[in-house]
């Protein structure tokens, strides 16, 4: 069995200077493609069920689906609940087999965020489930604005709540369709001086591949969340498949034809954060 949690995959990544991808899953075909790409490159991968995924498909379905892929994989696979804002959401994930949860208290006051994260860790760790927290707020392209992470708040949260990974806001933005994000390396370095756990960048689709590689090799950032970039690849491939055959209508045939392009784009993402695979 190769099912894993964040501690299993991020500890060696932090020690050895490479990144692990948290890939946003929207359906079965995505998850299969992501695991196939990771197996081709012999590297770990994190399958993430975010709010959109959970709205479309129940956690009771996603948990067994993720675990089935993880347990049959040849590489470590983390089954992760992303951006849950309540303990009940995370508890449901644990109940249905997820091995990792993100308790997102980034919109709360610091004391509330610390209390929520600490409570979640007390619940999760006895089940072997890892916990990711967020401090500061990672905004959205053409949406809510980011609030940069304050190093002193990051230090306090890590000291009191001890999450297994910490998502930070240093210029990264969710849902960017072009890679023009500029990471504030000075701000990142200030956070690294006071925090010793693995760091997470949400919105990594907006970060150039070369910059992702530098961050993976030269900072404590070792989890890179990627969604938009892969959805773009899926959409482009789907259009090409349908344009190539006006008579194609079978869903399984269509999605099977889309999958190779998604696997190749996923491999590019994985290589960009792991110099061992480049």
Residue 95 annotated to the active site: no
Cα(233)–Cα(108) distance, rounded to whole angstroms? 35
Cα(134)–Cα(82) distance, rounded to whole angstroms? 11
* Active-site annotation holder among 82, 104, 164, 274: 82
Number of separate helices (H) and strands (E) present in the chain: 11, 9
222 in Cβ contact with 13 (< 8 Å): yes
Beta strands in the chain (DSSP E): 3-4, 20-24, 45-49, 77-84, 100-103, 130-134, 165-167, 199-201, 221-226
Which one-letter DSSP state was computed for residue 128?
T
191 in Cβ contact with 168 (< 8 Å): yes
Structure tokens at 43: 């590297």
Cα(10)–Cα(21) distance, rounded to whole angstroms? 10
149 in Cβ contact with 185 (< 8 Å): no
Cα(94)–Cα(101) distance, rounded to whole angstroms? 8
Q: Which residues are catalytic?
A: 82
């Amino acid at each position: 069995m190769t099912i894993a949690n964040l501690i299993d995959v991020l500890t060696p990544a932090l020690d050895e200077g490479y990144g692990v991808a948290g890939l946003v899953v929207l359906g079965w075909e995505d998850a299969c493609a992501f695991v196939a790409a990771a197996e081709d490159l012999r590297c770990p991968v994190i399958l993430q069920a975010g709010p959109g995924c959970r709205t479309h498909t129940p956690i009771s379905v996603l948990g067994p689906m993720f675990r089935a892929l993880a347990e049959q994989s040849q590489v470590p696979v983390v089954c992760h609940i992303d951006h849950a804002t309540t303990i009940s959401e995370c508890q449901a994930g644990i109940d249905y087999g997820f091995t990792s949860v993100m308790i997102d208290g980034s919109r709360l006051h610091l004391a509330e965020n610390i209390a929520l994260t600490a409570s979640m860790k007390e619940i999760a760790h006895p089940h072997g489930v890892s916990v990711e927290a967020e401090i500061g707020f990672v905004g959205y392209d053409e949406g809510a604005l980011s609030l940069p992470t304050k190093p002193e708040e990051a230090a306090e949260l890590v000291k009191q709540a001890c999450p297994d990974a910490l998502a930070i806001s240093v210029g990264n933005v969710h849902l960017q369709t072009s890679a023009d994000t500029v990471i504030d390396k000075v701000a990142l370095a200030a956070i690294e001086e006071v925090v010793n756990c693995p760091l997470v960048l949400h919105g990594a689709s907006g970060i150039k591949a070369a910059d992702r590689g530098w961050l993976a090799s030269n900072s404590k950032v070792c989890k890179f969340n990627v969604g938009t970039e892969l959805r773009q690849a899926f959409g482009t491939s789907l259009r090409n498949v349908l344009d190539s055959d006006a008579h194609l209508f079978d869903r399984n045939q269509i999605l099977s034809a889309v999958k190779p392009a998604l696997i190749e784009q996923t491999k590019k993402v994985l290589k960009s954060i792991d110099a061992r695979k480049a």
